[in-house]
Structure 1
Amino acid sequence: MDQSTDTVLRSGPVIDATGLFLLISTISVFLLPLFIYFPPVPPSQRDALLETHSPIGVKHNKNNKKPTISSSSTTTIQQLWIYPVKSCKGIQVTESKVLPYGLEFDRLYTFAQLKSPFPVSTNPSSEKPQQTESWEFITQRQFPLLATVTVELFVPDPVKARGRPLYSDANITDSFLLISFPWQEPGLRGLFSWVAAKLARGRTAVPEKQLVLPVNFPSQQEIESRGYEREDVRIWKDVVTALNMEADLPRELALYLGVSNRLGVFRVDPARLREVQRCAPGRDEAGYQPVTGFQDAYPLHLLNLPSVRDFGAKIVTKDDSFRGDLDARRFRANIIVDSGTTTGENNTNPPYDEETWKKVRFERSPTSEAEGKRSTFHVSCRTVRCKMPNVDQDSGERHPAEPDRSLRKFRDVDEGARLKGCLGMQLTPLFDDAEGKKGELESWVEVGMGVEVLERGVHRYINQ
């Protein structure tokens, strides 16, 4: 054996560039499907909830986010929306229970900032706020990025609960809210979260922070163990005592929204709801005292699509940013109604006809399988608009002028709210034999229910 042969044998097999490429390609072909179907990322809080719960609501795509013209010749409910966390993304549903304070699950929570005459740190201290400080609710008017905070409602799934959850510590008999917002840490950690988001949810996904909140009001034991506190929070001019669950908030949320003050999240106390006065029916008329939670003023808000289309056609901007297509979601209504007939003599639902309604009933047709389900509402007053509809509900971007400017110009129609724009109506639930019922007052609404106007009249807004 010569020296060259001995050197080759001792050095082992030699892999050239072509062989190395083939080896890497072979490994990649086998591993790529594994990465696609089983991405190497830790489970999220949503994954944990999905072990025992299912989300409710209509699944959205680019084609069904915005309300479309109804195919019905009569006025019907086209969409129903609930907003479990005030000013965050809503959840579109096909049906809902109606309670005295509004639709079930609506406005259970609100974010609030601690206002004071001096700067307050975003990091909560162990000391109680001084008397000069007060909690005030926040909305998209001040912090438009709230529109991009996603809220999902997870309810127990009996089928899933039969199996043993892999990594869920949630109580399988309770419902939960999952709050998500975009957030990417700086540096290498942020890069890893960006890659993990793409692997787990697709190429358009972005890194998120998530927060889980209970739907049911916490027990006294949970309040004490979690460090929650009952505190006063201001909703417009009302001050109500609610449960501050600030201890569960991630610090990143205040940074994302741009809230420089201390941020809290309040759960409405079902035993301390706000009484509704002003234009709402009194106890003698309604049979009970109308109440509301974290809604602005009245239990429900109704929007009529012909009115939205008519008003939207009047908006003219230099950059043509609206193009006559005004997104009804900007107005945050619970009930959106429409009819297939929009013009002509047979139009049963002309623009702004809802402003003559005083009492309405929603009911299925006699031939429907859901016959017997119905709900009745007192149409209490017009909805006086603030600048919140200026916020795009997809991007969280706020238009500098519209539609607020056009609302004040074309919709200054209520003698009780001069120089202010109005669009939509505020509703108060009415219940059959409310005074004689000892149990919980409730009724039902569903998409497709017909709208029957029981009474008409004139409205005049009463300021708070």
Structure 2
Amino acid sequence: MPRITELTLYPIKSCAGIAVTEATITEAGLRLGLVNDREWMLVDLHGQFISQREYPQMARIRCMIGAQHLQVDAPDMASLYLPLHYDSTANKLPVVIWEYALNADDCGDHAAAWFSQCLGTSCRLVRFSAQAQRFANTKWTGTTMAPTRFSDGYPLLVISQASLDDLNQRSVNQGRAPVPMNRFRPNIVFDGVDAFEEDYAESFAIRNRIQLRPVKPCPRCPMPAVDQETGIAGENPVDILQAYRSNPLVDGEITFGMNVILESGIGATIAVGDEVEIAIAF
């Protein structure tokens, strides 16, 4: 029986993830305590989101969840502490993530100065507002309105270990080094299946309560080239994927992993070691 082997929460979009042994699953993604996946995001002075695509050193910005604060650390920087409770007086800042525009909570000048110094560019930190709404593209979710926060577009990303093993074997055969799973930044990793079986799944059932539905193959950009430990971009494993992972469902883009939405089980706990029942679409 397939089992979950990794769960990862990314409090700040495009910064380092936090590996967890269990989390609460919500319609908008994983949650641990008061912290949701991709709840914070960095934007430039025009409100446009920024990521490791432009600033690979964001990979070295790490978070730790405390009782009252999110602690943020980076090399040669003093720790930054972000309050977990929402500030009802926070200024609203218009932001854009891909084609989607919304108002977010500005996290203030101190946080903006910290991240601007860290990245060497003027930017601001924003938080997904308690009043905001953003939904995944119904072209892929159908009649289901699936909320998400500052993810690229969907609340959860699932990849099987076998898919990475297949890629790494091909990489080694071409004289390149294998890469860890964190290059692809999934929320849920499971083993016990064949490579890319997740592509053909109709649903994932976990703990007889949680039902996940795959909706869209995940197109890949330059980010997997970034070493998540050093923040340095090198050879891109997507180069290897180009030989066999062009997907006609997304106009021939190179895909790896599946974006999924929650069909049932809001508020349930999901944990490393949980069995995953996979229904294959025929």
Rg larger for: 1
Tell me the distance in 1 between the aligned counterparts of 2:80 and 2:173: 39
How far off its partner does 1:271 sit?
Answer: 2.1
Paired position in structure 1 for 2:258: 425
Partner residue of 1:210?
Answer: 79
Q: Quick check: which one's helix share is greater?
A: 1
Alignment pair present for 1:110 and 2:37? no
Match of 1:266 among 107, 120, 126: 126
Question: What are the residue-to-residue correspondences of 1:8-157 with 2, within 5 Å?
Answer: 74-104=1-31, 105-114=36-45, 134-155=46-67
Deviation, 1:219, is: 2.3
1:352 aligns with 196
Tell me, yes or no, if the aligned pair for 1:88 and 1:149 is still in contact at 8 Å.
Answer: yes
Structure with the larger RCO, 1 or 2 (CA within 8 Å, 6+ apart): 2
Contact 1:280 1:378 in 2 (8 A): no
Corresponding residue for 1:410? 244
Instruction: Using the TM superposition, give the Cα deviation of residue 140 of structure 1 relative to its aligned residue in structure 2, in angstroms.
Output: 0.7
Aligned to 1:38: none
Work out which of the residue numbers 102, 111, 115 in structure 2 matches 1:249. 111
Higher strand share: 2
- Measure the CA separation in 1 of the matches of 2:48 and 2:59: 18
| 1:76-122 deviations in Å (ceiling 9; x for gaps) | 000100001111111111111111111112111001112xxxxxxxx
| Alignment TM-score, normalising by the size of structure 2 | 0.92
One-letter amino acid of the counterpart of residue 227, structure 2: D
Does the CA contact (< 8 Å) of 1:431 and 1:443 recur in 2? no
User: 1:361–1:141: structure 2 CA closer, same or farther, 3 Å change rule?
Assistant: same
Give the direction of change, closer, same or farther, for the CA distance of 1:442–1:282 in structure 2 (3 Å limit): farther
1:331 maps to 2:181: no
Partners of 1:109 and 1:102 in 2: CA distance: 13
Cα distance, 1:383 vs. partner?
0.8
Q: Deviations over 1:197-236 (max 9, x none)?
A: xxxxxxxxxxx3211112232223xx3xxxxx20111111
Other structure's SS at 1:308 match: helix
Distance 1:250 1:293, change over 3 A: closer
Q: Which residue of 2 aligns with 1:161?
A: none
Alpha-carbon distance in 1 for matches of 2:154, 2:217: 11
Counterpart residue number, 1:307: 163
Give 1:455 shift: 4.6
The aligned length equals 277
Tell me if structure 1 keeps the 8 A contact 2:3–2:274: yes
Which residue identity lines up with residue 336 of structure 1 in the other structure?
A: V
**Structure 2 gap segments, 5+ residues each:** none
Distance 2:98 2:72 in 1: 24
1:129 corresponds in structure 2 to none
- Displacement of 1:282 in angstroms is 1.7
**Superposition deviation, residue 250 in structure 1:** 5.7
| Alignment gaps of 5+ in structure 1 | 1-73, 115-133, 156-174, 184-207, 224-228, 284-288, 340-348, 364-371, 433-440, 458-464
Contact kept, 8 Å, 1:354 with 1:425, in 2: the verdict is: yes
For normalisation by structure 1, the TM-score amounts to 0.57
Q: Secondary structure at the match of 1:454?
A: strand
Please tell me the residue identity of whatever aligns with 1:86: K
Residue 149 of structure 2: aligned partner? 293
Please name the residue that 1:69 is paired with.
none
Deviation digits for residues 413-449 of structure 1 (CA, Å, limit 9, x no counterpart): x2132342111111100126xxxxxxxx422211111
Q: RMSD of the TM alignment (CA)? A: 1.9
**Is the CA contact (8 Å cut-off) linking 1:281 and 1:378 kept in structure 2?**
no
1:190-201 maps to which residues of 2 (within 5 A)?
none
